[in-house]
Structure 1
Amino acid sequence: MADRPDDVELVKQRLSENPSEEFLEQIASTVVDEIAESFPEFVLKSRPMTEVLAEFREHKLEAVETTSHYTRKLDYLETYLQTAGITTTQDLTSEDVERYRSWRKYESLSRAKPLANNTLRDDMYLFREFIRYLIEHRMAPVRFEHCVEIPRVDRDRGEGVDEKQLVPEVAQAALAYLRTFRYATVEHVTMELMCQAGPRKSGLRALDVGDFNRQTGVLTFRHREGTPLKNNEQSEREITLYGQTPGIIRDHLAHVRPPVRDALGREPLLTKGDGRISPSMLQKIAYMWTRPCVVGLECPHDRDPDECEAAQANDAAFRCPSSRAPHHVRTGYITDQRNRGVSSDAIQQRCDVSPRVQALHYDLPDSTEERERFEDEFRAVGDDPESGYAQ
C-alpha cells in the first residue's frame, strides 16, 4: 500500500469519516495479504478441525482430574463445530466464535430451559482455552480471543451455587451398608471421613497415618509439600472423630491398609494401589457409594437396577442422578450439622470454611429446615407474657 499514495490518501479520508465495518474488513484483508507475501511464516495454518480438536482433547484430558466432566464439555464443542459446518481451522470466523455462547446457552440442550450461567461460564472458559490453543499454534488470529465473552455470575444473588447435597438418609444407609459388607476397607474409611467430618478432597489426600491419634481419635490436617491444603497453613486444624469412626480407622490400619509409602516417602492414611489415593479415586468412591439402590434404598427414579448402567457399572456411577461427588457430601454434612444446631463458628473450625462461605455455598437448608431452626426462639418469645403482642 505504500506504493500507492493516492490510495493512502483515500484510506485516510475514509477512516476519518466513521467508516463501515465492511470497509475496515477490506483494509484488514489487504494488510494480511501483503504481510503474507512478505512474511510467509506469519500465514495462518489450515488444518482439519477434527484433528485439531482431537489433539486439544487429548492435551486437556491429560491435565485434569475429572475427565468425564471435561469430556462432556468437549463433546458440546465438537457438536457445535460440526453443526456450524467448520471442517478446517480456516473455516472458523469471528462470528462463529461469538455465536458459540448463544448456541451453548439456548440451543445445545433438548430442554427449553436455558443453560445456567455458572455452567455456561465454565464452558466458555474451556472454549477460550481452545481458541488460545488455535492462536498459539497459528491456526487462528489473535483477535478471536477477544470475541469470547465470559458471562458474569452474581454470587450475591445465589447464582453459580451448586445446590446438590447428600441427604442424611442416603449418608446413613451408605455407612450402614459399608459397616456390614465392606468393613474397614479404604472405601469404607473414605466414606466415614466424608460423612463424619466434611473435609475437602485435598484434606483427605493430605492425611498421613501419623495424623490420626489412635488413643484419642483426633485427626490432624497438615499443609505439606506434595499435599497442600486449600488455604495453606490456615487450613491446618485438629478435629475429633466420634462414634464408630475411630475404631473403624484403627481396624483399617491394623488389618487392611497395605504397608506402602508415597513418592515422598510418607505413609498416606488413604491408599490405592502402591501409593496415596488420587483425587479421581476419591471422586469415584463418593459416586459409587451414594447411589441409593447400591446401599439398600429404593431407586428414586423408577429405574430397574438390573438394566441401569449407573447401577451396574462403578465407572458409570456418576450417571446416577442421585449419586453425589465429595463436594456434595461436604455440603450435605455442613447443612445437616447446622440443622442440628451446630454453630457456624464450630463448623468453621472443623471444616475450614468461613460463616460467609457457609451461607453462600454449603449451608443450604430447604424452607422447612430453615423454619425449624428458629422455631424454638419464636416459641420462647411467644411464651413470654411481656412480649408486647398477644398470642
Structure 2
Amino acid sequence: MTDPVDDEEFLKQRLSEDPSEEFLEAIASTIVDEMSESFPELSLKSRPMDAVLSDFREKKLEEVNSTGQYKRKLNYLQTYLTEEARVESTEDLTSEDVERYEKWRKYESLSREDPLSDATLRDDLYLFREFIRYLVEHRMAPARFEKSVEIPEVDYAEGEGVDEKRLDPEIANAALEYLRKYEYADVEHVSMELLCQSGPRRGGLVGRDVPHFDYEERVLKFETTQATPLKNDESSEREITLYGDVPEIIQDYLENQRPPETDDAGREPLLTKGNGRMSASTLQKIAYKWTRPCMVGLDCPHDRDPQECEAAQTNNAAFKCPSSRAPHHIRTGYITDQKNRGVSAEGIEQRCDVSPRVQDLHYDLPNDTEERERYEDEFREAEDDPDSGFNHD
C-alpha cells in the first residue's frame, strides 16, 4: 500500500510538468467516481441500449428532412452497437467500442469489398459523435468518450481521397516467418498466408471451401455461389497458383488442425475455427492481430513500450496500433509489391480480380523511391543508346 504523502507528491510533480490530457482525464474520472459515492445524482445512468437508440432515432428523424438517408445511417449505428459490439446497456459501452466504430464502418459494415468513401465516413462519424454526445449529456457515458470520435479530413476540392494505407512488406514477411515457426498450419496462419501471398478480397477468401483447394495442382479456385458470391459474380471466377510452401501449409492444416465443420448450407468452409464458416469480421481481427510489428518480433516503429501500449495488451485492441492493417490494406500492399517486382497489370488482374484502371486508382500505391526504381532500367537503356540526341557522354 502506498503512502498518501508519496501519492500527493507524485501528483504535484506530474501536474507541474505540463501533464497530458489523458492524465488529467484520469484524475477527473477518479474524482467523479469518488464523488458519485457521496452524491448518487452524479453517477452515470444505466439504460438498455436498444431503448436509448430508439429515443435517439426518434429525436434525430424529427430534426432532419432527408429521413431516408438518416434511417440508413442510424441502422448502421444500431447494427454496430447491438450486433457487433454487443452492447446491451449504456454501462457496457467502452472507449474501445467508441474508437473501433470508424474502422468497422469503413471496412467491415458493407457487403461489398471496397471501403466506405471518406466523405460518407465523415458524415457517419458526425452522427456517431452526436449520439455519443447525447449519451454524455444525459449522463449515460463519460465525457471523455466524445473525444474518442475523430472526424477525418476530406479535401472536397480535390475529390475524395484514396485510402493510402498498405501493409509494409517487412511486416508481412515477419508475420509469416513468425507464424510458420510458432503457430504453424493453424487457421490464423493459413489465413495470413493466403492474404499476404495472393491478395484476395476478404469476402472471396472466407467464401472458399475445402474442395476449392487442389493440392496436386497447387491451385485455389474462386467460384461464386448464391451464398458466397464473388464481387463480380461469374466474371470474378478464376484459379490462382499457390507458390512456395503455401500448398503444404494448407494441406497440413486440413489433415491435422481443421475441425470437421460444415456451414449452414452443408458446405465445408476452408477457413473455420470450429463453428461454421469464418466470418469476415473474424478475418479482419486476424489481420489486425498479426500485422502489429511487436507481435511478430519487430521493434515498434512508434516508440511505444509494448508493456504499456493499449494496442499490444489484447487482440481485440489490435486495431488501435497505427501499423496494424485490415485485409484491404494487405491486398493493397500485395498488389503494390507485385508491381514493384515487375508483374504486369494483366497478371494482377487475373490473380486478384482487379482491372488495370482500378489498380492505378486504389491498389498500386508505390512510394517515391519504389516508383523511381520501376523505371530505372528503361532510362538506363535509353541513356546507353549511342544514337540518343540527348546523350551527354
What is the aligned partner in structure 1 of residue 320 from structure 2?
319
SS at match of 1:357: helix
Alpha-carbon distance in structure 2 between the residues aligned to 1:333 and 1:177: 18
What is the aligned partner in structure 2 of residue 246 from structure 1?
247
Q: Which moved more, 1:358-367 or 1:58-67?
A: 58-67
Counterpart amino acid of residue 53 in structure 1: F
Matches within 5 A, 1:57-68: 59-61=78-80, 68=100
What is the aligned partner in structure 1 of residue 153 from structure 2?
116
Q: Alpha-carbon deviations, 1:132-163, whole Å to 9, x = none?
A: xxxxxxxxxxxxxxxxxxx7972xxxx33100
Shift in alpha-carbon separation, 1:59–1:108, aligned structure 2, 3 A: closer
Conserved? CA contact 2:53–2:78, under 8 Å: no
What is the aligned partner in structure 1 of residue 167 from structure 2?
166
Alpha-carbon distance in structure 1 between the residues aligned to 2:176 and 2:296: 8
Counterpart amino acid of residue 56 in structure 2: L
SS at match of 1:297: coil
Shift in alpha-carbon separation, 1:201–1:110, aligned structure 2, 3 A: closer
Shift in alpha-carbon separation, 1:366–1:266, aligned structure 2, 3 A: same
Alpha-carbon distance in structure 2 between the residues aligned to 1:49 and 1:306: 37
- Cα displacement (A) at 1:65: 6.2
What is the aligned partner in structure 1 of residue 186 from structure 2?
185
Conserved? CA contact 1:49–1:86, under 8 Å: no
Q: Alpha-carbon deviations, 1:66-94, whole Å to 9, x = none?
A: 983258936412245579x799xxxxxxx
Matches within 5 A, 1:1-391: 52-53=55-56, 59-61=78-80, 68-69=100-101, 73=125, 75-79=128-132, 81=134, 115-117=152-154, 154=159, 159-391=160-392
Shift in alpha-carbon separation, 1:356–1:50, aligned structure 2, 3 A: closer
Alpha-carbon distance in structure 1 between the residues aligned to 2:304 and 2:203: 34
Conserved? CA contact 2:224–2:233, under 8 Å: yes
Alpha-carbon distance in structure 2 between the residues aligned to 1:374 and 1:295: 33
- Cα displacement (A) at 1:363: 0.2
Shift in alpha-carbon separation, 1:254–1:50, aligned structure 2, 3 A: closer
Alpha-carbon distance in structure 2 between the residues aligned to 1:348 and 1:186: 27
Conserved? CA contact 1:65–1:279, under 8 Å: no
Alpha-carbon distance in structure 1 between the residues aligned to 2:231 and 2:262: 23
What is the aligned partner in structure 2 of residue 142 from structure 1?
none
Counterpart amino acid of residue 153 in structure 2: A
Matched residue count: 286
Counterpart amino acid of residue 131 in structure 2: E
Shift in alpha-carbon separation, 1:79–1:262, aligned structure 2, 3 A: closer
TM-score normalised over the length of structure 2: 0.67
Alpha-carbon distance in structure 2 between the residues aligned to 1:235 and 1:363: 19
Alpha-carbon distance in structure 2 between the residues aligned to 1:54 and 1:294: 41
- Cα displacement (A) at 1:388: 1.6
Conserved? CA contact 1:270–1:277, under 8 Å: yes
Alpha-carbon distance in structure 2 between the residues aligned to 1:115 and 1:174: 29
Counterpart amino acid of residue 335 in structure 1: T
Conserved? CA contact 1:223–1:233, under 8 Å: yes
Shift in alpha-carbon separation, 1:255–1:373, aligned structure 2, 3 A: same
Conserved? CA contact 1:261–1:268, under 8 Å: yes
Alpha-carbon distance in structure 2 between the residues aligned to 1:235 and 1:64: 30
TM-score normalised over the length of structure 1: 0.67
- Cα displacement (A) at 1:61: 1.9
- Cα displacement (A) at 1:390: 2.1
SS at match of 1:220: strand
Instruction: Report the aligned-residue RMSD.
Output: 2.9
Counterpart amino acid of residue 76 in structure 1: R
Tell me, which stretches of 5 or more residues in structure 1 are unaligned?
1-47, 88-106, 119-150
Conserved? CA contact 2:199–2:352, under 8 Å: yes
SS at match of 2:303: coil
* Identity, % of aligned positions: 58
Counterpart amino acid of residue 115 in structure 1: P
Alpha-carbon distance in structure 1 between the residues aligned to 2:132 and 2:259: 46
Conserved? CA contact 1:165–1:329, under 8 Å: yes
Alpha-carbon distance in structure 2 between the residues aligned to 1:292 and 1:317: 11
Alpha-carbon distance in structure 2 between the residues aligned to 1:205 and 1:244: 21
Alpha-carbon distance in structure 2 between the residues aligned to 1:217 and 1:308: 41
Alpha-carbon distance in structure 2 between the residues aligned to 1:250 and 1:198: 20
SS at match of 1:230: coil
Tell me, which stretches of 5 or more residues in structure 2 are unaligned?
1-50, 59-73, 86-96, 106-124, 140-145
Counterpart amino acid of residue 313 in structure 1: T
Conserved? CA contact 1:291–1:322, under 8 Å: yes
Runs of 4+ in 1 over 4 A off after TM superposition: 48-51, 54-58, 62-67, 79-83, 107-111
Shift in alpha-carbon separation, 1:298–1:385, aligned structure 2, 3 A: same
SS at match of 1:276: coil
Shift in alpha-carbon separation, 1:310–1:225, aligned structure 2, 3 A: same
- Cα displacement (A) at 1:283: 0.2
- Cα displacement (A) at 1:210: 0.4
